[in-house]
Structure 1
Amino acid sequence: MEKREPDKKSSAEWQREEKYLNQTLDIVKRNVENYESEIREMSDQIEEMLQHYHDNNVEVYTQMSNTVTMRDHMQSALKRNQRATKKPYFGRIDFLDETLQKEEALYIGRGGIAKDTTHQVVVDWRAPIANAYYENGLGECSYHAPDGRELPIRLDLKRTYEIDNGRLLDYFDTEVIANDELLTKYLAKNKQAVLGEIIATIQKEQNDIIRKTPYHNIIVQGVAGSGKTTVAMHRISFILYNYAERFRPEDFYIVGSNRILLEYITGVLPDLDVYGIRQMTMEQLFVRLLYEDWDEQSCSILENTAAAQGSMDRGTFGWFQALTEFGVRIEAERICMDSVVLDRRQFVEGLKGGVAGVFDEREGEPQPTDLVELLSGKAIRDYVEQTNASVQTKINMLNERLIIKIKDEFLKNGLRYSEKERKAILKEYRGYFGKKIFDISIFELYQRFLLEQKEKGYEVSVPEQAYDVYDLAALAYLYKRMKETEVISEAHHVVIDEAQDYGMMAYAVLKYCMKDCTYTVMGDVSQNIHFGFGLADWEELRKLLCSQDGDSFGILKKSYRNTVEISEFATKILHHGSFEPYPVEPIIRHGKEVEVMQLPTKRELYEETARRCRAWQKQGLNTIAIVCRTPEKAELVARQLGRLIPVCESNLEKAVFSDGIMVLPVVYTKGLEFDAVLIFDPDKEEYPVDDGHAKLLYVAATRALHELCVLYREDLTGLIAEPLPEEKQKEIDRKVQQLLEEEQGRQNTSGISAESKYDNTIENNNII
Structure 2
Amino acid sequence: MAAEKHSAYKEELERCNYTLGYVEKSLESTVRKKERLDNDIDSVQKHFTSENSQSYIDLMINTTIRDTLALRLRNLLVARSKPYFARIDFKEKDSSKRENLYIGKMSLMRDEDQEVIIVDWRAPIANLYYEGRIGEADYWCPGGNIKGELTLKRQFAINEGILQEIFDIDITTNDEFLQTYLGATSDNRLKEIVSTIQVEQNKIIRADMWKPLIVQGAAGSGKTTIALHRIAYLVYTFEKSFEPENFMIIAPNKLFLNYISEVLPELGVERVKQTTFEDFAMELIGKRFKLKDPFEKLTKFVNHNVTEEQIYANRILKKCSQFKASMLFREVMDDYVKHIESSFIPKEHFKIANTVVFKYAEINDLFLKQYKNWPIVRRIDEIKKYLSNRLKQKKDVIIFNLNEQCDNVIRNLKDIMEDSEDRQRLIIEAIDKRDAVVGKIESYAKSAVNEYIKKISKFSPYEYYSDLINNEELFNKLLYSKAEKELIDYTRNHTRETLKSGYLEIEDIAPIIYLKYLIHGMDEKIPVKHIVIDEGQDFSAFQFYVLRKIVKDSSFTILGDLCQSIHSYRGIRTWQDVVDDVFEGQKCGFLTLEESYRTTVEIMGAANTVISKIKDHGLVLAKPVIRHGDKVKIIERQSIKEIAEDISARIKRCRSENFKTAAVVCKTVEECQNMYKLLKGKIDDLNIITGKEEEYKNSTLIVPSYLTKGLEFDVVIIADAGIDVYKEDELDIKLLYVSMTRALHKLCIYYNGEISSLLDNVGAHCERDSN
For the criterion TM > 0.5, the same-fold answer is yes
Moved more, 644-653 or 532-541: 644-653
Q: How far off is 1:15 after superposition?
A: 0.5
Q: How far off is 1:257 after superposition?
A: 1.4
* SS, match of residue 495 in structure 1: strand
Instruction: Select which of 561, 568, 571 maps to 2:605.
Output: 568
Match of 2:45 in 1: 50
Following the alignment from structure 1 to structure 2, what is the Cα–Cα distance between the partners of residues 252 and 583?
31
Match of 2:680 in 1: 642
Match of 1:536 in 2: 573
Equivalent residue runs for 1:225-374 within 5 Å? 225-291=220-286, 294=287, 296=288, 299-307=289-297, 309=317, 310-335=320-345, 358=353, 360=354
- Contact map agreement 2:662 2:714 (CA 8 A) in 1: yes
Moved more, 478-487 or 545-554: 545-554
Match of 1:350 in 2: none
Equivalent residue runs for 1:126-145 within 5 Å? 126-145=122-141
Q: How far off is 1:134 after superposition?
A: 0.5
Equivalent residue runs for 1:705-744 within 5 Å? 705-720=744-759, 722-723=760-761
Q: Which amino acid aligns with 2:119?
A: V
Match of 1:156 in 2: 151
Moved more, 65-74 or 403-412: 403-412
Kindly provide the CA deviation profile for residues 550-605 of structure 1, in whole angstroms up to 9, marking residues without a partner as x. Answer: 63121111111111100110011111122232132211111110001011123221
Equivalent residue runs for 1:328-477 within 5 Å? 328-335=338-345, 358=353, 360=354, 375=362, 378-385=365-372, 387=373, 389-409=374-394, 415-416=400-401, 419=438, 423=442, 426=445, 430-431=449-450, 434-435=453-454, 439-451=458-470, 452=472, 453=475, 456=480, 457=485, 458=488, 459-460=490-491, 461=494, 462=496, 463-464=498-499, 465-477=502-514
Match of 1:750 in 2: none
Distance 1:573 1:258, change over 3 A: same
Distance 1:119 1:89, change over 3 A: same
Moved more, 626-635 or 102-111: 626-635
Match of 1:584 in 2: 622
- Contact map agreement 2:172 2:199 (CA 8 A) in 1: no
Kindly provide the CA deviation profile for residues 444-465 of structure 1, in whole angstroms up to 9, marking residues without a partner as x. Answer: 3212333544675322212221
Unpaired runs of 5+ in structure 1?
Answer: 348-357, 363-369, 737-768
- Are residues 1:224 and 2:219 paired? yes
Following the alignment from structure 2 to structure 1, what is the Cα–Cα distance between the partners of residues 158 and 195?
11
Following the alignment from structure 2 to structure 1, what is the Cα–Cα distance between the partners of residues 643 and 42?
61
Following the alignment from structure 1 to structure 2, what is the Cα–Cα distance between the partners of residues 578 and 485?
43
Moved more, 576-585 or 179-188: 179-188
- Contact map agreement 2:187 2:698 (CA 8 A) in 1: no
Following the alignment from structure 1 to structure 2, what is the Cα–Cα distance between the partners of residues 609 and 447?
49
Match of 2:592 in 1: 555
Match of 2:425 in 1: none
> Normalising by structure 1, what TM-score?
0.84
Instruction: Select which of 615, 618, 622 maps to 2:660.
Output: 622
Q: Which amino acid aligns with 1:207?
A: N
Match of 1:601 in 2: 639
> Normalising by structure 2, what TM-score?
0.83
Moved more, 540-549 or 158-167: 540-549
Equivalent residue runs for 1:480-519 within 5 Å? 480-484=517-521, 486-519=523-556
Distance 1:137 1:492, change over 3 A: same
**Higher share of residues assigned helix:** 2
Q: Which amino acid aligns with 1:450?
A: I
* SS, match of residue 748 in structure 2: strand
Distance 1:260 1:92, change over 3 A: same
Following the alignment from structure 2 to structure 1, what is the Cα–Cα distance between the partners of residues 503 and 363?
45
Distance 1:263 1:84, change over 3 A: same
- Contact map agreement 2:188 2:698 (CA 8 A) in 1: no
Count of matched residue pairs: 690
Q: Which amino acid aligns with 2:293?
A: E
* SS, match of residue 200 in structure 1: coil
Alignment RMSD: 3.0
Following the alignment from structure 1 to structure 2, what is the Cα–Cα distance between the partners of residues 605 and 503?
38
Distance 1:316 1:307, change over 3 A: farther
Following the alignment from structure 1 to structure 2, what is the Cα–Cα distance between the partners of residues 378 and 645?
73
Distance 1:312 1:173, change over 3 A: same
Following the alignment from structure 1 to structure 2, what is the Cα–Cα distance between the partners of residues 136 and 631?
48
Q: How far off is 1:714 after superposition?
A: 2.0
Following the alignment from structure 2 to structure 1, what is the Cα–Cα distance between the partners of residues 271 and 747?
36
Following the alignment from structure 1 to structure 2, what is the Cα–Cα distance between the partners of residues 380 and 66?
47
Moved more, 51-60 or 431-440: 431-440
Q: Which has the larger radius of gyration?
A: 2
Q: How far off is 1:434 after superposition?
A: 3.4
Q: How far off is 1:615 after superposition?
A: 1.4
Distance 1:485 1:183, change over 3 A: closer
Kindly provide the CA deviation profile for residues 272-322 of structure 1, in whole angstroms up to 9, marking residues without a partner as x. Answer: 11122222222222112111xx2x5xx411233234942121111111111
Distance 1:547 1:91, change over 3 A: farther
Q: How far off is 1:194 after superposition?
A: 9.8
Match of 2:121 in 1: 125
Q: How far off is 1:381 after superposition?
A: 2.9
Q: Which amino acid aligns with 1:470?
A: E
Moved more, 685-694 or 246-255: 246-255
Q: Which amino acid aligns with 2:131?
A: E
Q: Which amino acid aligns with 2:671?
A: K
Instruction: Select which of 166, 188, 191 maps to 2:183.
Output: 188
Q: How far off is 1:69 after superposition?
A: 2.0
Q: Which amino acid aligns with 2:711?
A: L
Instruction: Select which of 688, 691, 697 maps to 2:727.
Output: 688
Match of 1:762 in 2: none
Distance 1:318 1:545, change over 3 A: closer
Following the alignment from structure 1 to structure 2, what is the Cα–Cα distance between the partners of residues 193 and 167?
25
- Percent identity reads 29
Match of 2:55 in 1: 60
* SS, match of residue 370 in structure 2: helix
Following the alignment from structure 1 to structure 2, what is the Cα–Cα distance between the partners of residues 646 and 77?
39
Q: Which amino acid aligns with 1:511?
A: R
* SS, match of residue 294 in structure 2: coil
Following the alignment from structure 2 to structure 1, what is the Cα–Cα distance between the partners of residues 86 and 185?
22
Q: How far off is 1:40 after superposition?
A: 1.9
Q: Which amino acid aligns with 1:125?
A: W
Q: How far off is 1:413 after superposition?
A: 8.3
Following the alignment from structure 1 to structure 2, what is the Cα–Cα distance between the partners of residues 371 and 533?
48
Unpaired runs of 5+ in structure 2?
Answer: 299-316, 404-437, 766-771
Match of 1:664 in 2: 703
Following the alignment from structure 1 to structure 2, what is the Cα–Cα distance between the partners of residues 300 and 528?
25
Q: How far off is 1:655 after superposition?
A: 6.0
Moved more, 215-224 or 656-665: 656-665
Moved more, 184-193 or 22-31: 184-193
